[in-house]
Amino acid sequence: MDLTSKTISGGLRLTPTAWQLLEILLRNPGKLIPQRYLLTEVWGSKNVKETHYLRQYMAQLRKRLERDPTHPAHLITEPGLGYRFTP
């Protein structure tokens, strides 16, 4: 993945929202990123309780980027807390 040119090898395309979410996670490898922070940064402060947005986008990202989306190795959920990118 090249964050500067917003490209993924293999020609995989992501929506601007998915890129924004993924970029936050990739720029903070190994760190827990709280749900509230992701919601505020990606959808704005009025949407901090809309956790279903986040769940849907993370599920889509896993389907496109993980070898086995049901057992993700890189896009990890910390239940009730947030998400973590593990390189």
Instruction: Give residue-wise pLDDT tens across range 46-58.
Output: 998 989 999 999 9
The residue behind tokens 């593990």 is: 86
Task: Supply the pLDDT for residue 37.
Answer: 97
Q: Do 57 and 21 meet the contact criterion of CB atoms below 8 Å apart?
A: yes
pLDDT digits (tens, 9 = 90+) for 2-48: 777 777 877 788 889 999 999 999 999 999 999 999 999 999 999 98
Domains in the chain, start-ordered, CATH in brackets? 16-85 (1.10.10.10)
Cβ-defined contacts of 54-60 (< 8 Å, 24+): 54/21, 54/83, 57/17, 57/18, 57/21, 58/21, 58/83, 60/18
Bridge partners for 38 per DSSP: none
